Amino acid sequence: DWYKGLQPLVNHAKTKGSKRVKVHRELAALLDEELRRRGTTVVPAGEVFGKWKGLKDGEKDHEIVWPPMVIIQNTKLEQDENDKWTGMGNQELLDYFSSYAAQRARHSYGPQGH
């Protein structure tokens, strides 16, 4: 089986119940220890740490603890003469989200536009 991320793998290792249970629990313990050493944890499914308010000026909820990556979608700015959409570039994204101390941005549009 392929697991799409660390969370599903850790959940599998912690909940496997039929064959090779001991090996799975040892893997779960090793993964937990490695994450602890790196100063992070895997958030169990269904666990919530609070809601992020957004970019309103009145909201000062700028601390994002988990996930360490935020994905911003639909940044279309304008359409050119060839009907291709132009989205926000890396620097525009960093400027727009500067109050959040963003360290890096990466646009995701290609030759066909956004």
Tens digit of pLDDT for each residue in 54-87?
Answer: 555 565 655 655 556 677 777 777 888 888 877 7
111 vs 12, more confident? 12
Q: What is the pLDDT of residue 65?
A: 55
As for how many domains the chain has, the answer is 2
Q: Domain range holding 56?
A: 49-114
Is residue 1 one of the residues assigned to a domain? no
How many helices and strands in the chain, by DSSP H and E? 3, 2
Q: Which amino acid is at 62?
A: H
Residues 82 and 112 in one domain: yes
Residues 27 and 59 in one domain: no
Residues 65 and 107 in one domain: yes
108, burial (CB in 10 Å: exposed 0-12, middle 13-18, buried 19+): exposed
The owner of tokens 């989200």 is 97
Q: What is the pLDDT of residue 107?
A: 74
Residues 58 and 114 in one domain: yes
Residue 112 and residue 84 in contact, taking contact as beta carbons nearer than 8 Å: yes
Percent pLDDT > 70 in the chain is: 67
